[in-house]
Structure 1
Amino acid sequence: MATERAGVVVVGAGIAGVACAVELVGAGIPVQVRERGRVPGGRMASKRFDGRPADTGAAYFTVSDPDFAEVVERWRAAGLAREWTDTFVAYGPDGRRDVPGPTRWSAPRGLRSLVEDLARDLPVTVDRLVHTVEPGPLVDGQPCEAVVLAMPGPQAALLLDPALTRATRAAQAQDWSPSLAAVLRFPARGWSDFRGAFVNDHPILNLVCDDGDRRGDAAPVLVAHTTPEFAAGHLARPTGAAPAIEQAVRDLLALPEPAADVHVHRWRYAKPTAGPAGTYHLDADGVGLAGDAFGKPRVQSAWRSGHDLARALTTHLS
């Protein structure tokens, strides 16, 4: 008996994969979403500490795309997203200064809650590891109409059969840098007011965010993101970096008291530094790639990539 052919298999339930799946379902195309992690979210990751979420992936998002703005407005109306700040500070050799910029948005329940909201009506299977994508296309030997790999290119390249040359080249064209994200929980707030801080020319720190201000609950929690160079030296044992990160944050903000707890999360592929042109990849084999490597490293870019790929797939399949 012949194996029934699936619709589109989307591998990766970050915002790019979920945005793609939402658009496909809206076009009446059957979709299966497979996520190797325990929850959707990808790099819009949040982790709970004593019941309270802290963002361990993306620090915030900005909005300039009209289509993405419609999605964000629905989140705002539902109380899932809030305008956070248009001003960060910057620390550098010349001290501290204010840095105005675009409005940065945050999520009271953590950025992962936004991806979960988009995915609420999708058939998402978590803890599902995909091993191979072959011509056909075949996903782990099972036929489908098309497959979307919504993940960093180095991870996608590991799944792709070498015969899928165009997709493999598009994946291998991506370069990514690592980072560590440290959640520092303090007994009390001991720092002067700031929302987020860019840290320039520092051997360890790249960005520090006041998670209590970001979340709107004034909790004494900071989240620090490290430089790629520092992270590269601690990928094998990220927990060992906790003392150095804590000391760097305390020195930066002149904090006399140590943190009560430090949790470090490793991102081997944190930020794309180079990628192919366009907003997505789709070839005649029915293999697509999506994510923020197709554009600026932004939440909005990842959403746009998945959304645009879905529209191209709808035309491809019809």
Structure 2
Amino acid sequence: MTMPRVFGHLTAKDLGVVINTDDPYSVQIGEYYAKARAIPASRVLRVSLPMKSTLAPDEFEAFKKQVDDFFGPKVQALALTWRLPYGVNCNSITGALAMGYDAKLCTNTCAAPTKSSTYFGSSSTKPYTDHRMRLSMLLAAKDADSAKALIDRGVRSDGTLGLRGAPAVNAHFVTTSDNVRSVRQQLFPPAGSNPPFGVDVHLDQTDALKNADRVMLYQTGRAQVDFLDTNEFVPGALGDHLTSFGGILDKPHGQMTVLSWIDAGVTASYGTTSEPCAHLQKFPHPQALIGFYLQGATALEAYWKSVAWPQQGLFVGEPLASPFGR
């Protein structure tokens, strides 16, 4: 994949925070995050949302109007400080906020193509100004302590990687025995060292990494990823697994969710909230994800720029983490 050069990235001045006042987790984490990233009260929206898996379309439209009215054209992206709701019918809540709710998708969630993101692979550092897409990321974790640790990792990561003389970090692109979920292997970058960025790229053939050191990126394809907690993730690390229901955070479905990545020490992840089938465009493109991140993009920008059809995709993590940012 050929990527454009990108100069600059989103900062705290571009970000808004949304707090659900009916959710004690959201209130606690929203206030913690606003303080951690110095987001002023003028860019903190408090709303009242039902604490359930998915919003109905009319509930979402009322919420989106509040967001648009409050933030206007200058706020480029949002931190949504809750775990529920994560969807709007079959759409993810992050997808619907950026792309609009797509009712037709819910008649056949495996359909291809779905709405295409004009932001995919772009050089833009102003997604709302340039693409009329207000990107968002869910600050979701298993509990408030885990969410605070996530926020702290993101803040601590800024500008820490790619420094001259520093030890290298590792990007692992894993092909597993699950052939269907390993479909992304055709998009993996070549293995090797990249000294200017201090990153070593590994193409692994295994069902799960174990005891891996200084992991900056881990992409794989499995319904369950074992041994996550044995790996050492650096602050700002990204990780995701291609499977159907990684973005369904509250219902038993036999698959690991993005919350396991966050709990293991990753700073941002991605999963889908309804059956996507194994369309490559519905999942993060490996070369785009690492390519934009190494150029200094935030976690939010790198993940959003790597998904061509993000309507069903839930973006989770600390949006402003930028370990390669200068």
State if a TM-score over 0.5 links the two structures: no
Higher Rg of the two aligned structures: 1
